[in-house]
Structure 1
């Protein structure tokens, strides 16, 4: 069962990274009706994969791996979890922006977004990508038993 949960954890992680990369690519281009719809759908996939990743990860911590005590004393794990939470909080801004477009999208129009707001969303997505790199570093350190 541990192998199944490890697989699911990795699947969710790769899905999350792919969704952030797709969002980053879409928000860099011209905002059209089609790209705005893709952004909204991709953000939903991102949210679902993040929630599943957290739940599956916590199940692994409590039931399938080395046990809660081990992870509680692993600085790499605590850093990884803290960064994940920071990314989740950062992602609220783009999600709220994308959700605000629903009315325009239902009307068949591309949303009107200020250059300033798009720049903020781009900066946040940059930050999310950087944070994901740090999470991967923490995961590699954890896998080698470091920072315990």
Structure 2
């Protein structure tokens, strides 16, 4: 893999991740039907795969293809970006567990029940993911220009 290819795959993973979060944001606001629940489950799988691939490609870029790990480990923008990514990854477990818990209802052809409290929690996490993505993108732009060192 070359530096250009690693950059391409990194951006592909980022755009896939952002799209998946945006789709979840849209779907969770709708009335929960079997079809919507199934789409949320599939979208969450895509989101998880994109996040895992992003982490792997990002690690490869840091270690082998870009400025070297020493540069990145001294960049507050990079450290902030990684910290937010890890926090988001941990918080995203909550919607994932909720979506996975719907499997038996969906197989039975019934819309899962999502009480108001749990819906607010899942929605809040998805909103937080979108907000954090904006900050992560800011950090990436600052980091690419050598800022916050």
| Alignment match, 1:7 | 8
| Alignment match, 1:142 | 143
For residues 8-37 of structure 1, the C-alpha deviation after alignment (integer angstroms, 9 at most, x for no partner) is 000000000000000010000100010000
In structure 2, the gaps of 5 or more residues are none
State yes or no: 1:34 paired with 2:72.
no
Count of matched residue pairs: 148
| Alignment match, 2:87 | 86
The residue matched to 1:10 in structure 2 has which SS? Answer: helix
State the 1:99 CA deviation: 0.3
Give the RMSD, CA atoms, in angstroms: 0.5
CA distance in 1, matches of 2:60, 2:144: 17
CA distance in 2, matches of 1:71, 1:119: 36
CA distance in 2, matches of 1:18, 1:86: 19
| Alignment match, 2:53 | 52
CA distance in 1, matches of 2:53, 2:104: 28
The residue matched to 1:66 in structure 2 has which SS? Answer: coil
CA distance in 2, matches of 1:113, 1:126: 17
User: What is the TM-score with the length of structure 2 in the denominator?
Assistant: 0.98
| Alignment match, 2:17 | 16
CA distance in 2, matches of 1:56, 1:65: 11
The residue matched to 2:17 in structure 1 has which SS? Answer: helix
State yes or no: 1:70 paired with 2:71.
yes
State the 1:125 CA deviation: 0.5
